[in-house]
Amino acid sequence: MSYTAIKVENLTKEYTLRHQQASNYTALRDVIVDRAKSVFRGQTGSDRKEKFLALDDVSFSIQSGDRVGIIGRNGAGKSTLLKVLSRIVSPTKGRITLEGRIASLLEVGTGFHPELTGRENIFLNGSILGMSKMEISKKFDEIVAFAEVEKFLDTPVKRYSSGMFVRLAFAVAAHLEPEILIVDEVLAVGDAAFQKKCLGRMREVAGDGRTILFVSHNMEAVQKLCNKGILLNKGKLVMEGSIDAVTGKYLETFSEGQSWYDIAKPLDAENKAAIATRLQIEDVNEIPVSEVSIGANYNFRIYFTINKKVEGFVAAIGLLTIFDQPVRTTWSEPTDLEPGNYTALFKSEGIILADGQYKLNVGLSKGTSVIHNAENAGLLTISEVSTLVNDKQIINTKSGLIINQMPVQIIQCK
């Protein structure tokens, strides 16, 4: 039976920003100087302070068994929300009611001590995460097996490789059995195989009817793990609902790419026979978009002007990775063009690129001689929000630059 596991009412967290100060803590010297100054000015030294609302009147409730992804841009208040929910910091206003045991996992390996052995750290970390000694002893073998560190149990963890360290740390956390689990970005560690294992384990935990709150910038992970979503922006709750609706809203509102890019005029523009003026990215319905879902087709459109008649005109687009590795270049067929304004529409046709950003180069030429070459004219952003549905095959969007699957036949040898 489902009940309200988390109820948040009018939650507000206010911070006071102190300007011209490098660190959070105050030096007594400054306080004394401030007080002394204020005596002369007849006021307190409050002119340097500014209020900042990390969370602004946020209310929502979560049913038990829900797996909720909290999304938003950097500084939206996601981490503050998790910290308030895990009782690490106290709210300025509002009230939160939590039903059941809570464990929060804001960092992998909290409290791990480098001088202690793997065995000792399992017990220490377990108790820091809220497990009793008995629980840890009961799960000890399982934790060790999950982390794959049997041989190094009695070695101080300072001699562990970073991979082993992370595996051990996550293994302890993965065997927590609270009713409410709060997780922040911890999947951003370890190699791909281990990440997959972690995600699998989280889904297992979620399957037991536990409530999970999950913050991550990895939309793919959020979509795979969560069924509900909460969208925050500048401390305010923007939207609460199904994960697909919330991630959709997030991408629509806050995507980092642009749907079109103006191309800078070349220095000798008046002497050029043709110049490109704008590069636009569109979806298949020719509507400008700033981000393309992985697996979806898209169009590039180049706006250009012909100043003098060009015979054998060719428009081209080059696609490069962020690290300047060329991925592909496509050319139009040569045509003869009279002066005027034109567009060239390039349609993608089923090559699925991995998520991430790609640089775009635009080139106009007469045959093979370049007229106008605009390097780095724009960015193509492929978002990890997936439209790929294939229950029969494993599709990992991080498996390479090109996600398209080859047809594979498995035949028994005679």
Which residues contact another protein (rule: CB under 8 A)? 15, 24-29, 31, 83-102, 104, 106-107, 110-111, 113, 115-116, 120, 123-124, 127-129, 132-133, 156, 179
**Distance of alpha carbon 55 from alpha carbon 83, whole angstroms:** 11
- The smaller minimum CB distance to another protein, of residues 100 and 163, is found at 100
Structure tokens at 310: 């060009």
Strands 340-347 and 356-366: unpaired
CB of 120 to another protein, least distance (A): 6
Structure tokens at 252: 């629509």
- What Cα–Cα distance (Å) separates residue 294 from each residue in 245, 254, 381? 17, 17, 9
- The smaller minimum CB distance to another protein, of residues 116 and 395, is found at 116
Burial 189-207 (b: 16+ CB within 10 A, else e): bbeeebbebbbebbeebbe
Contact by Cβ (8 Å): 128, 110: yes
- The smaller minimum CB distance to another protein, of residues 18 and 217, is found at 18
- The smaller minimum CB distance to another protein, of residues 186 and 314, is found at 186
- The smaller minimum CB distance to another protein, of residues 38 and 127, is found at 127
CA-based nearest residue to 182, from 75, 100, 73: 100
Residue 81 CA, distance from chain mean position:
17
Structure tokens at 392: 């029969």
CB of 73 to another protein, least distance (A): 22
- The smaller minimum CB distance to another protein, of residues 79 and 373, is found at 79
CB of 226 to another protein, least distance (A): 22
**Distance of alpha carbon 408 from alpha carbon 173, whole angstroms:** 38
CB of 124 to another protein, least distance (A): 5
Q: Within 10 Å of residue 127's Cβ, how many Cβ atoms?
A: 14
CB of 70 to another protein, least distance (A): 17
Q: Which residues contact 46 (CB under 8 A, 6 or more apart)?
A: none
CB of 207 to another protein, least distance (A): 20
CB of 58 to another protein, least distance (A): 13
Contact by Cβ (8 Å): 381, 288: no
Q: Within 10 Å of residue 250's Cβ, how many Cβ atoms?
A: 25
User: Which residue is associated with the tokens 């102190």?
Assistant: 18
**Distance of alpha carbon 3 from alpha carbon 16, whole angstroms:** 37
CB of 118 to another protein, least distance (A): 13
- The smaller minimum CB distance to another protein, of residues 148 and 179, is found at 179
User: Which residue is associated with the tokens 């195989």?
Assistant: 193
CB of 4 to another protein, least distance (A): 11
- The smaller minimum CB distance to another protein, of residues 108 and 294, is found at 108
**Distance of alpha carbon 168 from alpha carbon 109, whole angstroms:** 8
- The smaller minimum CB distance to another protein, of residues 129 and 302, is found at 129
